[in-house]
Amino acid sequence: MRKEYTFFRKKQLKFAKSRIHDWGLFALEPIAADEMVIEYVGQMVRPIMADRREQFYTQIGIGSSYLFRVDVETIIDATKCGNLARFINHSCNPNCYAKVITVEGQKKIVIYSKQPINVNEEITYDYKFPLEYEKFVCLCGAPQCRGFLN
């Protein structure tokens, strides 16, 4: 296993109420710029299964689903089986970014810090939702907020 991959597990994080949206993920220790913060984990599914699950989650009243595209063939579904990374909220001025890395032949989504992050600062990244007919209102509150997630 790569040295940098084992190092990132040591980040101390917590989920708590967020000013952006419901729950968020926060740093419990200072995080330097360009460090691995957390891996986004969940069940690996194909796009057709992700679409079915998203419809099912909507039908049963789950307000949010946690689907993250790895590539054209793979989506990580953290809705029912994930980790703290699923609590990361969107920001138009994020302090982190998502990157697909390969570890021992498996693609993984890892969240990296773009800048230093202070204790109790909320971890955010830009969801970069694709353009769709239905617009999703952005609640990030950043001065340069785009107004929508897509």
Q: What is the pLDDT of residues 75-106, one digit of tens each?
A: 999 988 889 999 999 999 999 999 999 988 88
Q: Does residue 104 come out as left (phi exceeding 0), alpha (psi in the -120 to 50 range) or beta?
A: left
Instruction: Considering only CA atoms, give the Rg of the chain.
Output: 15
Domains of the chain: 3-41+83-125 (2.170.270.10)
How far apart CA 45 and CA 145 sit, in angstroms, is 32
Binned at pLDDT 50, 70 and 90, residue 7 comes out as very low
| Per-residue pLDDT tens digits for 131-148 | 666 777 888 889 999 888
Task: Quote the pLDDT of residue 148.
Answer: 83
